[in-house]
Structure formats: C-alpha cells, structure tokens
Structure 1
Amino acid sequence: MTAKHEPEPTHDPSAAAVSLGLNAAIRVCLFDMDGVLTKTATVHAAAWKQTFDNLLRRRSVRMSQPFEPFDEVKDYELCVDGKPRADGVRSFLMARGIDLPEGEPDDPLTAETVQGVGNAKNEAFNELVRTAGVQRYEGSVRYIRAARSAGLRTGVVTSSANCAAVLAAADMAELFDTTFDGNDLNTRKLPGKPAPDSYLAAARALDAEAAQAAVFDDAQAGVQAGRAGGFGRVVGVDRLGQAEALYGHGADIVVQDLDQLLVTR
C-alpha cells in the first residue's frame, strides 16, 4: 500500500464535494481501477477466457464432454469481475462444477490447480498489456483532476496485483494519494470484494471515516463492498449495460462515465 501526504485544502470542502455530485460530507474519493480508470476490464476478460478455455478444452477431451467456453460477458460479470484472482478462479470452477486442488502460489502455468490457473491468467494478462498497452477513460481523468483541484484526496482500490504497472502504463500514477491492491490484500490477509476491507483500509490511509469517502466501482462485487462498508456515496460505473444490477448491489447512483457527475453540478 502506498500513500502520499498533501496539504489540506484552503477552501470549503463541503461545497467542493457537492460540486462533484457527492454528499457534502465527502472528503475522499476511492476508485476501482479496471473498468473505472483504465480500459483493462476487457483485457482481464480476454485473459480469463484464454486461460479458462485452455483448461476447459483439455478437460472436455480427457472426459469426452462437450466444450462450453468461458463467456466474456456473463461469466466475467458473475464469477470474476472485481474479485481477487484466486477467488475468481474458485467462483468460476464452482459454477461449472469443477473441483481442483488449491495448489501452491508458485505452481506452474500448466498446473490444474486453483493457483496454477490463477498464475496462467496473470501471465496472459501481462502479455496482453505488453503487446497492446493500457488505455484510460478520459472522463475519469477529468473527474479525478476536478476532485483534486477541489481539495479532495484520491485513492485506488483494486484486487489486481498489477496496479502499479497498469497505472504507470496509463500515465495516471500521480493522480492518487494512495493505492491498495491485490498485493496488500495478500500481505494483510484481508478478504477481497465484496467484503469492504480493502476500501476501508484505503479510507483509513487517507485519514477518513467511511462516511467521509465515496466509492466508485464498475463491478457488482465492488458496489456491494461500498454498501457493506457504510461509505458516504457509492457510485456505480456502467460500462457493460448492467445499471440495474449495480443499483441492486448497492449503488446510490449509476453513471456511464465519471465526468457525467460534473455535468450535474
């Protein structure tokens, strides 16, 4: 977890929060990364598909069963979106009725274990990032810059273990006062989303109570975490046409891009 300390704003923070489409009590904005800040949700989905399809093909041949591929929309949303890598593996395998041993963190990419499958997915993701790069959502960049200009502090909360590399590739690292990622989850032995622990840890790092912080997430598990943590504002970001599901899991408001919140001032 990384944190930076900046001087306190000299203007009225309540008016600033309202101008950003937030509650007057909000002092901190906490953003999920993939799908909110960067266009890496589709990269993750592609990496999951490559990994799971390889596993499913091998099993279909070995067991003489039909091959049912990973669905990059339905399976991604329901099983892996917003979750720590190993939790996503377990969730999808459970949905398919597949029982694999847990394995060890350093299992090879070909190992048919939870950890081996997770390692294969991480390698596939990193290769896609290396070959295609990372794009960012410019509406999110505009919103974050407006929030920082208004004196609010900002943080990234992601289950990804590749947070630093992705933010650097997207030229966004300097926009945030703190980050909390999958490495921090493992180090602190905390549960990932939909549990609120990662968001709560980031809020504490910025000297804020949950009621003083807003959560911005595009995953159902993420908005559920924001609601469970008692955060002052839970903003769902609808990139996949799942506004109803985001509301159902705890979002106070759903937008298609963050700069829409600026338009409503």
Structure 2
Amino acid sequence: MIKGFIFDLDGVITDTAELHFAAWKKLSDDMDWQFDRDLNEKLRGISRMDSIKVIMDHNNVSLKEETIVELATQKNDIYVQSLDHMTPEDYLPGAKELLTHLRSEGFSVALGSASKNAEKVLKQLNATHYFDVIGDGNSVSRSKPAPDIFLYASEKMGLSPERCIVFEDAEKGIDAAKAGNFYSVGIGPEERVGHADVRFDTMKEATLFEVKSHFKDLF
C-alpha cells in the first residue's frame, strides 16, 4: 500500500529553473564561458558542484577545487538573492492542490531535492507545513542519480521505498527513484522522463485521482 509521497522541488512544486539559468548565465558571462539553454538542460536535477563541473567540461576549463567552490558559491549568492522575490503565488499549477489533497487524505509527504536552498524556497511559498520531512542538498552527500535523497526521505517517514511514490521532472531524478526501488511519476516530456512508471506533461494533470488510477492496485 502506498503511504508516502516524495517530491522534487524545482520543476515539480515550483519553477526556479529560470532563476538558476539566470544565475549560471551571469557567472558564465563573468568568466567568459559559453552557456546556453541546451547546456542548462544538462544541469536539471543535479547538485551545484556537479553543475559547475558540467559547465567547465563544456568549456574545456580546469580550475583548482577551492576556486570551483568559490565560483559555485558566487552562483548561489546570485540565485539566493533572486529567491527573495518568490511568493505563495509561485507554485506550479496543480502542485498546491495536490499537496493539500494529500494532507487531507492522511498521506506522509516528504521533499527530496538536491537544492541546498530548499527550506528557503518552501518558506517563500508558505509550503513548509505540507511536508513531514525535508530532504535537501544538506541531507546526503551523493546527489541524484544516486537514490540517497529519496532513501533518506522514506526512512525519515518510516516507510519502505515500495510504499512511496516519487514525483520528478529530471531524467536523473527518475533514475534515482528506480535505483532506490520507488514508484515514480515523471513530470515533463517523454524524452526526459518517459522511463517513469507514469508520465504527465504538467503537474496540473498529475492529480491524486489520476495517480491513484494508474497505481490502482497499490491504494
């Protein structure tokens, strides 16, 4: 029986992707690195340090680890400043309704995000009360596609992976859910999350009714 739901943050609960893109673009421009939308897609669902290494590899750049950390921190400072402008109006359509429905039905709910700024984002959205457990980039050392963040969330909820459904919008996020033996709901295009157990184009389509209809033997 499904008792818990685990949500990625960016691209599932809210869309901070544009804020991340703007921050990485600013850093890349300052460093005279090439950075565009296509390269940005490769950063979806992975950690800040992994992201900057992808950008550096693309630009054939090699730097000392301490310099990489400094640049990643600069990017984060740009991004965190932009979060101050987020409001409770910035849920993705359907996300708040689903979280409310899960609460009223008595399911356990956790966040499973690679972001180290997840708590700040949830506070800006006034969403903290929807979650029993907050797993973020500070909770585990290995980021997706390793399943660690989802395993952390399920353990804190006191549930086995087989009793949880993960919502993800990133290819590596679905990979992580599968690696941890979780059921998965993909949000986004077929080419990105088509390997999920069930896929929806948007969160608005991913209602509890639709999810239960797909996993009907598990409820």
TM-score of the aligned structures, taking structure 2 as reference length = 0.89
CA RMSD of aligned residues (A): 1.5
Q: How far off its partner does 1:40 sit?
A: 1.0
Could you tell me which residue of structure 1 aligns to residue 29 of structure 2? 53
Q: How far off its partner does 1:74 sit?
A: 1.4
Q: How far off its partner does 1:115 sit?
A: 0.4
Q: How far off its partner does 1:39 sit?
A: 1.9
Question: Which SS does the other structure have where 1:43 is aligned?
Answer: helix
Answer yes or no: is 1:165 the counterpart of 2:141. Answer: no
Which structure 2 segments of 5+ residues have no match?
A: 214-219
Could you tell me which residue of structure 1 aligns to residue 3 of structure 2? 27
CA distance in 1, matches of 2:70, 2:177: 30
CA contact (8 A) 1:77 1:219 kept: no
Could you tell me which residue of structure 2 aligns to residue 146 of structure 1? 101
Answer yes or no: is 1:120 the counterpart of 2:120. Answer: no
> Which deviations, in whole Å up to 9, do the C-alpha atoms of 1:9-57 show, x marking residues without a partner?
xxxxxxxxxxxxxxxx211100011111112121112111111222125
CA distance in 2, matches of 1:157, 1:75: 24
Q: How far off its partner does 1:133 sit?
A: 2.1
Which structure 1 segments of 5+ residues have no match?
A: 1-24, 58-68, 104-112
CA distance in 2, matches of 1:228, 1:56: 37
Question: Which SS does the other structure have where 2:94 is aligned?
Answer: helix
> Which deviations, in whole Å up to 9, do the C-alpha atoms of 1:197-254 show, x marking residues without a partner?
11111100001111111111111111111111110x211111xxx322211xx31122
CA distance in 1, matches of 2:92, 2:129: 16
Alignment of 1:77-96 (within 5 A): 77-78=41-42, 80-96=43-59
Answer yes or no: is 1:38 the counterpart of 2:1. Answer: no
4+ runs deviating over 3 angstroms = none
Q: Which amino acid aligns with 2:54?
A: S
Alignment of 1:236-247 (within 5 A): 236-238=186-188, 242-247=189-194
CA contact (8 A) 2:92 2:203 kept: no
Question: Which SS does the other structure have where 2:24 is aligned?
Answer: helix
Aligned pair count? 208
Answer yes or no: is 1:98 the counterpart of 2:61. Answer: yes
TM-score of the aligned structures, taking structure 1 as reference length = 0.74
Q: Which amino acid aligns with 2:26?
A: Q
Q: If each structure's helix is expressed as a fraction of its own residues, which one has the higher value? A: 2
Percent identity for Structure 1 against Structure 2:
29
Q: How far off its partner does 1:120 sit?
A: 1.0
Q: Which amino acid aligns with 2:202?
A: D
CA distance in 2, matches of 1:257, 1:166: 20
> Which deviations, in whole Å up to 9, do the C-alpha atoms of 1:146-191 show, x marking residues without a partner?
1221121101111111111110101111111010111222xxxx20
CA distance in 2, matches of 1:100, 1:163: 28
